[in-house]
């Protein structure tokens, strides 16, 4: 449960990000202007800020300086993809840079990476009766270790990071097995069967018809 | 080689050549004149001497005949008496040498030995005189020889004049000239250098300025110093630099505008796209949740609409920018009425009332474009207006028979510093306005293009929180269209 502040003036995009982050188990607050962000900041101590560069009352760069003073990791969200803008943002201390339009999965992965880099992500994840120790790469169910192969463990992590969202077989294959062909989606099915059984998650890992799988956990 | 160096060396060398040549010519000429004078004197003196000796000899001879004295030998006479004729001459420079008909020296006070032949002595006629100038040792001597006839005996008298002084004079002149020449050369070089350096400074300045401008500092100007050709050139150069500066600025502004246009366009395209794709993906991948489902669909719909409106506005803008308007004279009233009809739904939705007054007039125009312009202006006013306020939509003639289309609202107004920018594509004066009210910022850009096509004027007056009046002033006659575009 990380606190994330979304500073974005377009309500549609802001809501979209909030919905995605809440599905992944984050705690969100929205701010639609620089001033609002600063006032939200006082009673909500975020672990990470998503910051739009074009804000109605100030440039995102200005807000970045303020945020950096309180050592909050910042990911820039912007429609500008000029190299100069990226370099400027990163030089000023932004931790990452996401260009609109972006995919929710990419956003989540980048948030994950930045949080881990800052050590804000706890080493231990609890989900659906499982305890996952990221450092040791071990999984326990009710205190009893569950034996998982490398690929099974990675598949579990991928599902956890994208909880409540359907992942296509192709995407899973690409992200876990590192290759981009759709011929061997059977491999995904076999591994899903195995971890369902090993973790006792027959109900939680849902098959999405003609698409892929979704890990359902109440947020 | 630089210009000033060329001028310097050219002038310097030309002067030196002419000065040296003329000086040497003068010295030589002077020397020749002296020489001629001395030779003439030598010839005269020799003649005088000969005459004197002959007279005296004949006098003595006659006297001897009268006295019946022994006849004296002419050779002896000469030997004894020659020196007395020399008394009237400078003994250090004038000598005589007398030889008899067998070329034996009868008398000579010339001490130097003369080597080589003596062609001057080859005189045959008593009236003949020959002269030669010879160098003997370090001296130059003039020899003038002529016949001396005493009692039928032929002697030869050579009058010898020392010319060393004339040669020495010439050499002294040359030495003096060389000294003067060295001084003059130095003074001339310094003077020329200074003068040319001074005269060419404007050229150098011009060069530096040209380099500065060429290096990209287009605001630089030449400091015009003189009123001569270079001054004139500098003035022209400044005019040229000004023209370049203007052009460069225009290009930069155009490039900046284009950059900004692209920048805003990408922003305006990507923002709705992000929402549409994002919500579609969310619906596709998550379990059904009614609230999320309707919210997502709402956003997909409204953002899709936003994209649609942007696309249409962009098409309008492109159309207007590329169109060659076909002007037809039409009544303005139907356009007002149609506009009001078109905007009615939007007005009702925003709860804004529209009051319209039109003075009938026939105007040359492209009616579709004028209609687009009117709807855009009213659309802007609705967006700026608060619920319950009114919009005035008027058309009237001015005193100088032009026609004004006026849209007045009681809305939020435009900050003064933003007024010059409102016609720029994608400019929105008040970005914090709620999202649903926000347009793409293309409306006024389209309007200003349409006004330009009609050779009209746009006037905008606004006060924050009191309202805005936009007037489109159209020329009421045909004439102005021939000149537009």
Instruction: List the Cα angle A142/A146/A148 in 5-degree steps.
Output: 150
A179: its two tokens: 């290759």
CB spacing of B273 vs A10 below 8 angstroms: no
A183: its two tokens: 């011929």
Size of interface A-B (CB pairs under 8 A): 79
Q: Which residues of B touch A80 (CB under 8 A)?
A: 263, 266-267
Which contiguous run of DSSP H or E holds residue B9? helix B3-67
Q: Which of B258, B265, B274, B281 to mutate to test the interface with A (most CBs of A within 10 A)?
A: B274
Tens digits of residue pLDDT in B173-205: 999 999 999 999 999 999 999 998 888 888 888
CB spacing of B271 vs A100 below 8 angstroms: yes
> E-strand spans in A68-158?
74-78, 96-99, 124-127, 130-133, 138-141, 144-146
Smallest Cβ–Cβ distance between B278 and the set A11, A104, A208 belongs to: A104
- Could you give phi then psi for residue B147, rounded to 5 degrees? -75, 140
Beta strand B362-365 with A27-31 is unpaired
HSE value, Cβ hemisphere, 13 Å, CA-based, for B109: 21
Tens digits of residue pLDDT in A182-212: 567 788 888 899 888 888 888 888 888 888 8
CB spacing of A13 vs B282 below 8 angstroms: no
- Angle at which helix A11-23 crosses helix B290-322, to 10 degrees, equals 150
The ipTM of this complex is: 0.77
Q: Which residues of A touch B303 (CB under 8 A)?
A: 12
> E-strand spans in B201-352?
328-331
CA–CA min distance B432, chain A (Å): 5
CA–CA min distance A100, chain B (Å): 6
- Of the pLDDT bands very low, low, confident and very high (cuts 50, 70, 90), residue B301 is very high
Smallest Cβ–Cβ distance between A54 and the set B267, B286, B287 belongs to: B267
- Separation of alpha carbons A3 and A41, rounded Å: 11
Query: What's the Rg (C-alpha) of chain A?
Result: 19
Tens digits of residue pLDDT in A40-57: 887 888 889 999 887 877
CB spacing of A80 vs B267 below 8 angstroms: yes
Instruction: List the single residue in B with minimal CA-CA distance to A24.
Output: B286
CA–CA min distance B3, chain A (Å): 47
Q: Which residues of A touch B270 (CB under 8 A)?
A: 79, 100-101
CB spacing of A16 vs B267 below 8 angstroms: no
CA–CA min distance B375, chain A (Å): 26
Query: What's the Rg (C-alpha) of chain B?
Result: 58
A15: its two tokens: 């809501």
Q: Give the contacts of A113 (CB within 8 A, at least 6 positions apart).
A: A96
Q: Give the contacts of A93 (CB within 8 A, at least 6 positions apart).
A: A64, A68, A74
CB spacing of B431 vs A9 below 8 angstroms: yes
Task: Kindly report the number of other CB atoms within 10 A of residue A47's CB atom.
Answer: 19
HSE value, Cβ hemisphere, 13 Å, CA-based, for B48: 10
B69: its two tokens: 């004295």
pLDDT at A173 (0 to 100): 85
Q: Give the contacts of B391 (CB within 8 A, at least 6 positions apart).
A: B347, B352, B353, B354, B355, B378, B381, B382, B385, B407, B408, B409, B410
- Of the pLDDT bands very low, low, confident and very high (cuts 50, 70, 90), residue B435 is very low
Burial class (CB in 10 A: 0-12, 13-18, 19+), B137: exposed
Instruction: List the single residue in A with minimal CA-CA distance to B431.
Output: A56
Tens digits of residue pLDDT in A134-176: 778 888 888 888 888 888 888 888 888 888 888 888 888 888 8
Q: How long, in residues, is chain B?
A: 485
- Break chain A down into helix, strand, coil percent, rounded to 5: 40, 25, 35
HSE value, Cβ hemisphere, 13 Å, CA-based, for B398: 13
A123 has pLDDT over 90: no
CA–CA min distance A211, chain B (Å): 9
B357 has pLDDT over 60: yes
pLDDT at B149 (0 to 100): 84
Tens digits of residue pLDDT in B64-76: 888 887 777 878 8
CB spacing of A12 vs B273 below 8 angstroms: no
Instruction: List the single residue in A with minimal CA-CA distance to B269.
Output: A79
- Separation of alpha carbons B380 and A120, rounded Å: 48
Instruction: List the single residue in A with minimal CA-CA distance to B279.
Output: A16
CA–CA min distance A136, chain B (Å): 31
Residue B272: left if φ>0, alpha if ψ -120 to 50, beta else—which one?
A: alpha
- Of the pLDDT bands very low, low, confident and very high (cuts 50, 70, 90), residue B22 is very high
Q: Which residues of B touch A (CB under 8 A)?
A: 263, 266-267, 270-275, 277-279, 281-282, 284-287, 292, 295-296, 299, 302-303, 431-432, 435
Instruction: List the single residue in A with minimal CA-CA distance to B432.
Output: A56
B483 has pLDDT over 50: no
């Amino acid at each position: 449960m990380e606190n994330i502040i979304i500073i974005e003036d377009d309500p549609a995009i802001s809501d979209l990000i909030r919905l995605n982050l809440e599905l992944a188990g984050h705690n969100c607050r929205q701010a639609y202007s620089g001033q609002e962000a600063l006032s939200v900041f006082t009673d909500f101590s975020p672990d990470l800020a998503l910051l739009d560069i074009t804000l109605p009352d100030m440039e995102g760069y200005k807000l970045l300086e303020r945020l950096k003073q309180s050592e909050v990791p910042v990911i820039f969200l912007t429609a500008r993809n000029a190299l100069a803008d990226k370099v400027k943002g990163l030089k000023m201390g932004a931790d990452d840079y996401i260009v609109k339009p972006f995919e929710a999965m990419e956003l989540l992965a980048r948030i994950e990476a930045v949080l881990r880099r800052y050590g804000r992500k706890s080493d231990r994840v609890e989900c659906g009766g499982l305890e996952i120790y990221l450092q040791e790469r071990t999984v326990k169910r009710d205190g009893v270790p569950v034996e998982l192969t490398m690929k099974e463990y990675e598949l579990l992590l991928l599902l956890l990071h994208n909880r409540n969202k359907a992942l296509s077989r192709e995407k899973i294959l690409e992200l876990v097995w590192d290759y981009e062909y759709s011929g061997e989606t059977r491999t995904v099915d076999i591994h899903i069967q195995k971890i369902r059984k090993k973790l006792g998650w027959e109900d939680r890992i849902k098959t999405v018809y003609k698409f892929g799988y979704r890990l359902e956990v109440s947020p | 080689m630089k210009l000033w160096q060329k001028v310097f060396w050219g002038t310097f060398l030309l002067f030196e050549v002419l000065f040296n040549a003329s000086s040497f010519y003068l010295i030589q000429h002077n020397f020749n004149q002296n020489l001629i004078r001395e030779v003439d004197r030598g010839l005269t003196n020799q003649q005088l001497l000969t005459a004197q000796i002959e007279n005296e000899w004949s006098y003595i001879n006659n006297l001897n005949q009268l006295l019946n004295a022994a006849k004296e030998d002419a050779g002896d006479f000469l030997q004894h008496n020659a020196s007395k004729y020399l008394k009237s001459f400078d003994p250090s420079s004038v000598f005589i040498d007398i030889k008899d008909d067998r070329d034996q020296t009868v008398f000579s006070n010339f001490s130097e030995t003369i080597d080589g032949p003596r062609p001057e002595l080859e005189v045959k006629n008593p009236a003949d005189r020959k002269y030669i100038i010879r160098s003997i040792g370090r001296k130059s001597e003039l020899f003038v020889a002529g016949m001396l006839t005493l009692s039928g005996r032929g002697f030869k008298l050579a009058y010898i004049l020392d010319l060393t002084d004339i040669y020495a004079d010439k050499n002294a002149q040359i030495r003096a000239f060389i000294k003067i020449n060295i001084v003059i050369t130095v003074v001339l070089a310094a003077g020329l250098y200074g003068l040319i350096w001074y005269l060419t400074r404007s050229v150098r300045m011009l060069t530096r300025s040209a380099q500065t401008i060429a290096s990209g500092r287009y605001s630089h100007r030449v400091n015009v110093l003189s009123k001569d050709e270079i001054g004139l050139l500098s003035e022209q150069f400044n005019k040229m630099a000004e023209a370049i500066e203007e052009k460069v600025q225009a290009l930069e502004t155009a490039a900046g505008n284009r950059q900004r246009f692209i920048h805003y366009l990408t922003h305006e395209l990507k923002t709705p796209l992000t929402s549409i794709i994002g919500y579609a993906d969310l619906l596709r991948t998550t379990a059904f949740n009614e609230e999320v489902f309707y919210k997502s669909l709402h956003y997909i719909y409204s953002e899709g609409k936003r994209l649609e409106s942007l696309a249409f506005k962009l098409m309008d803008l492109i159309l207007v920018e590329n169109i060659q308007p076909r002007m037809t004279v039409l009544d303005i009233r139907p356009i007002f009425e149609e506009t009001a009809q078109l905007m009615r739904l939007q007005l009702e939705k925003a709860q804004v009332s529209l009051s319209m007054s039109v003075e009938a007039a026939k105007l040359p125009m492209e009616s579709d474009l004028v209609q687009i312009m009117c709807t855009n202006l009213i659309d802007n006013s609705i967006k700026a207006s608060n619920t319950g306020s009114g919009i005035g939509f008027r058309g009237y003639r001015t005193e100088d028979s032009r026609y004004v289309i006026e849209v007045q609202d009681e809305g939020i107004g435009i900050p003064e510093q933003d007024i010059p920018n409102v016609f720029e594509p994608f400019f929105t004066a008040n970005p914090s306005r709620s999202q649903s009210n926000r347009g793409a910022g293309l409306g006024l850009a389209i309007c200003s293009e349409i006004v330009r096509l009609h050779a009209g004027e746009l006037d905008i007056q606004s006060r924050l929180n009191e309202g805005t009046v936009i007037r489109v002033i159209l020329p009421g006659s045909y004439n102005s269209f021939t000149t537009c575009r």
